[in-house]
Amino acid sequence: MATTTPPRRAALERILLPLAVAALLVGLWLLAVRLTHSKIFPAPLAVLRGVHELWRKGLLLRYAGASLLRVAAGYSLAVLVGVPLGLGMGVWRALGVMLDPLVQALRAISPIAWIPIAIVLFGVRDQATVFLIFLAAVFPVVLSAQSAARAVPLVYLRAGRNLGLNRAQLVLRVLLPATLPELLSGLRIALGV
């Protein structure tokens, strides 16, 4: 017979266990800095002082906003490119056969490995960061959209055609609603990446 944890104890565990792990990691971080006498890697207190200094100067929110803007731009571009491309690759087999090897080869390259190319193409500017975020997010989006489109039963598409839907209507009224659950899951994964 399985025993259940009382609700209050479960709530405490959900709070205290992650805090204990975080405290352990911060302690290991501090220990590593002290044992190595690192001048490059800062101690946790130095990081907090730096964050406080940025806050005091009024720069913390500006820097955080700029970072979020770059993430939003790169992710949005990945969605705008990846969803139509993935849906197209999933619906039209010829497009999938043509582009799948290229997508698979490029997705295997770490976004960090693209940094020199990004610097050559865009210099050390925001566009390089947006490009790298785009590359990190676009492949999970393409693959989830492709998989979702391939999972749509063919009878749905045939029924839409029989009802007189043109290609654009078929995509908007049949394909997108049918793929939405798997597509949203892929978008969430891409945002995490």
pLDDT at 2 over 70: no
Residues 125-164 have pLDDT tens digits of 999 999 999 999 999 999 999 999 999 998 988 898 899 9
Give percent of the chain with pLDDT exceeding 90: 69
Q: What are the structure tokens assigned to 186, written together?
A: 């892929």
Residues 47-84 have pLDDT tens digits of 999 999 999 999 999 999 999 999 999 999 999 999 99
Q: Is 41 helix (H, G, I), strand (E, B) or coil?
A: coil
The DSSP code for 114 is: G
Sign of CA dihedral 95, 99, 104, 106: negative
How many CA atoms within 13 Å lie on the side-chain side of 106?
Answer: 16
- Mean per-residue pLDDT of the chain: 91
Q: What are the structure tokens assigned to 74, written together?
A: 């790169």
Task: Report the pLDDT value the prediction gives residue 102, as an integer from 0 to 100.
Answer: 94
Which amino acid is residue 66, in one-letter code? A
